[in-house]
Amino acid sequence: MSNYTGLDHEAPTVRLSRDEFTERRRELTNHPEAVAATSRIDVEDDYGNVTTWVLDLYRVGSDVTAFLQRGGNDGYIRLVLPPTVTSSINRHQSGLITKARRKTSRRVVADKRARGEQVGNPEALKKARTRAGRKGAELRKWRAAGASSTTASAEGAEGQEGHAPVTPPGAGHHDRPDS
């Protein structure tokens, strides 16, 4: 009879992957405040070859980390896009949207003018331009007088000198009907 109990050998040790993708994803998956979203996109080319993109976004507070995986017949790639990169992408996307809207608006205005249509409300535009011109003239005059610093000395209640903010003409008076 054998004395083998099955306990004579060591239990195999489990090794966790140590690459950046796996470690960072494991951290965010286990983070109690993380919110995740996943998208899978299969792109087929003209020859029937499929490339699969998997995008996992994790948000913690205002930081978004993206995990991008691309697999196809030419191989497999995994990337981690840290919050600094995703915020830059977001800023660029917002800027592109603004540029596209401006470009479209300019084209629409040019088309209306070419057809001889009136663009905007001329009375409102004239009033706004007059107001802006008046405020600009006041500000230029104020700057020319040497009050270009944002603080100036003022006498305190007990005669001590302190610094009080200097307000340029027309600033902070948005509740006046004529401004």
pTM of the predicted protein model = 0.55
Task: Output 54 or 157, whichever has higher pLDDT.
Answer: 54
Pick the closest to residue 16 from 28, 24, 8, 7 (CA basis).
Answer: 24
Q: What is the pLDDT of residue 82?
A: 95
Judge whether residue 175 has pLDDT over 90.
Answer: no
As given in the structure block, the two tokens for residue 55 are 């995008």
58: burial class by Cβ within 10 Å (0-12, 13-18, 19+)? buried
Average pLDDT over residues 91-112: 93
The predicted pLDDT at position 173 comes to 52
CA distances from 131 to 43, 50, 134 (A): 55, 60, 5
- Percentage, residues of the chain above pLDDT 90: 51
Q: Name the band, by pLDDT with cuts 50, 70 and 90, for residue 151.
A: very low
Residue of 101, 97, 36 lying closest to 65 (CA atoms): 36
Closest CA to 88 of 69, 64, 53: 64
Identity of residue 30: N
pLDDT at 94 over 70: yes
